[in-house]
Amino acid sequence: MNEPLHYRSTRGARHGACVDEVIAAGLAPDGGLYVPEALPSLELSAFDPDGTLADTATTLLYPFFRGTAMAEALPVICREALDFPVPLRPLPRHGDASMLELFHGPSAAFKDVGARFLAACFRRLRRNDATPLTILVATSGDTGAAVAAAFHRQPGVRVVILYPDGRVSPRQAHQLGCFGDNVQALRVAGSFDDCQRMVKAALNDAALQASMPLSSANSISLGRLLPQMSYYAHAAMGWWQRQRSPLNLIVPTGNLGNALAAVWVREMGLPIGEIQLACNANATLSDYFDGENYTPRPAIPTLANAMDVGAPSNFERLRWTFPRDYELRMQLRATSVDDDTIRQTIVWHAQEHGEVFCPHTATAMHVLDRMGATDLPWAVVATAHPAKFESVVEPLIGRHVEVPPALQAMLQRPASAEPLPADDEALKHWLGYQLA
């Protein structure tokens, strides 16, 4: 049983890749996304009932790493990456419902989990490389900050962040530009989809790759997706031990990385019940799960800006997991929540329960509210701390949201970003110029 798991691209090419290669590359060479050739499955008895989040992650992820050089380091990688709490907190006055808080990491959003895991893997993968690796990140706000925080001052790596100018919150923009050293922020005159396309174009440019090793740290990277499975596994195992019932999830969703992690954990045999996607006004997924053809479209700006995605990349992985539409539509439900409803949800919960949610988390809270009385135990996934989106939240609730210390420290540093047109060649030129 020490045969390594092999990986392939969703678009067919590059069968038989191993996990080190897949994590180092980010995107598959044919432009597809890497997936395991088959998802492993696990018995619940494999998990230590008293284990930490890092212990659960090690057990869960071992089958993905077994038989490779990194397998031995996996427990340490998990401990380094998952060194902050991910509590499942009961929601007062919501029956059996609870909130899975994913925002206690350095950048106050769930993306810290994937970014820190990826950085911990890269520290092992790139020990002996002389040429520095350039990591390209397209971000709708939160990915960039998490990746910047995770890789800041890591030797042998530099990080280039692309974000849609004017479409991230002032505090997000500050977070992206405040690192310096090996981290450079570019503010792109376009949408997140533009940023993502530019990164893909650079990664797929063989000539550029030959002169400058490039990788990505987007949610398309399996090195981010895999560790995101850990908190679902841990929460579901804990719930199972106490309640002997599966945990049902409502996941704020944009590019589908976070929700796909939950789907894969369920496929691996862990006790997760229903999974509902909460989307903002970008309705590509809710339309699809309502029975329409899958139709990617340009993103529209909303209050939940980290979910402003009209063409969710990870849909390709979801399709790989469930190739037939009817089968896929049985796995998930999706609801689109407009900005007015996000506002009302934030105001209502602050007034009624004294609970303050970020706009992304509010989409999921709305899905729970709309269900009314339910027998199922739901966990609403809280993807970011509300203080990250103070320009949306504070005017609505009429008071200050306390800023977590790590975020406070970032906000006290000066910040800067370079402007860039929303053009594939512009990024390639910028990178080439940096090299010269």
Ligand X SMILES: *Cc1c(COP(=O)(O)O)cnc(C)c1O
- Structure-token match 């970003």, residue found: 417
What does the angle CA 21 – CA 22 – CA 24 come to, to the nearest 5 degrees? 65
Question: Hey, is 8 helix, strand or coil?
Answer: strand
Q: Closer CB to ligand X, residue 28 or residue 251?
A: 251
Q: Closer CB to ligand X, residue 55 or residue 227?
A: 227
State the minimum distance, in angstroms, from the CB of residue 256 to ligand X: 5
| Contact of 376 with 274, CB cutoff 8 Å | yes
State the minimum distance, in angstroms, from the CB of residue 337 to ligand X: 12
| Contact of 249 with 232, CB cutoff 8 Å | yes
Q: Among the residues of 154-221, which ranges form H helices?
A: 170-177, 192-203, 206-211
Q: Closer CB to ligand X, residue 61 or residue 384?
A: 384
State the minimum distance, in angstroms, from the CB of residue 228 to ligand X: 8
Q: Closer CB to ligand X, residue 219 or residue 321?
A: 219
State the minimum distance, in angstroms, from the CB of residue 385 to ligand X: 9
Q: Closer CB to ligand X, residue 81 or residue 306?
A: 306
| Intra-chain end-to-end CA distance of the chain, in Å | 48
State the minimum distance, in angstroms, from the CB of residue 197 to ligand X: 16
What does the angle CA 401 – CA 404 – CA 409 come to, to the nearest 5 degrees? 120
Q: Closer CB to ligand X, residue 154 or residue 253?
A: 253
d(CA 262, CA 307): 17
State the minimum distance, in angstroms, from the CB of residue 5 to ligand X: 23
The closest of 85, 81, 138 to 112, measured between CA atoms, is 81
Cα dihedral angle (278, 284, 288, 293), rounded to 10 degrees?
180
Q: Closer CB to ligand X, residue 133 or residue 384?
A: 384
Residue type, 159: V
Q: Closer CB to ligand X, residue 109 or residue 229?
A: 109
State the minimum distance, in angstroms, from the CB of residue 37 to ligand X: 23
State the minimum distance, in angstroms, from the CB of residue 51 to ligand X: 25
What does the angle CA 279 – CA 100 – CA 224 come to, to the nearest 5 degrees? 70
Residue type, 11: R
* 354 φψ region: left (φ > 0), alpha (ψ -120 to 50), beta (else): left
Long-range contacts of 87-93 (CB under 8 A, 24+ apart): 88/235, 88/238, 88/239, 88/379, 91/355, 91/380, 92/353, 92/355, 93/352, 93/353
Q: Closer CB to ligand X, residue 68 or residue 361?
A: 361
Q: Closer CB to ligand X, residue 125 or residue 387?
A: 387
State the minimum distance, in angstroms, from the CB of residue 425 to ligand X: 27
State the minimum distance, in angstroms, from the CB of residue 334 to ligand X: 11
Q: Would you tell me which residues interact with ligand X (CB under 6 A)?
A: 109, 111, 142, 219, 252-259, 306-307, 360, 383-384
Q: Closer CB to ligand X, residue 59 or residue 284?
A: 284
State the minimum distance, in angstroms, from the CB of residue 312 to ligand X: 7
Sort strands 418-421 and 378-382 into parallel, antiparallel or unpaired: unpaired
State the minimum distance, in angstroms, from the CB of residue 146 to ligand X: 8
Element spanning 113, H or E? helix 111-125
Strands (E), 374-423: 378-382, 418-421
- Structure-token match 């890789």, residue found: 151
Give 378's strand partners: 248
Query: Which residues lie below 8 Å from residue 192, measured CB to CB, with a gap of 6+?
Result: 138, 139, 140, 163, 164, 167, 299, 308, 309
Q: Closer CB to ligand X, residue 120 or residue 259?
A: 259
**CA of 420: how far to CAs of 189, 217, 408, 424, 428, in Å?**
6, 20, 28, 10, 11
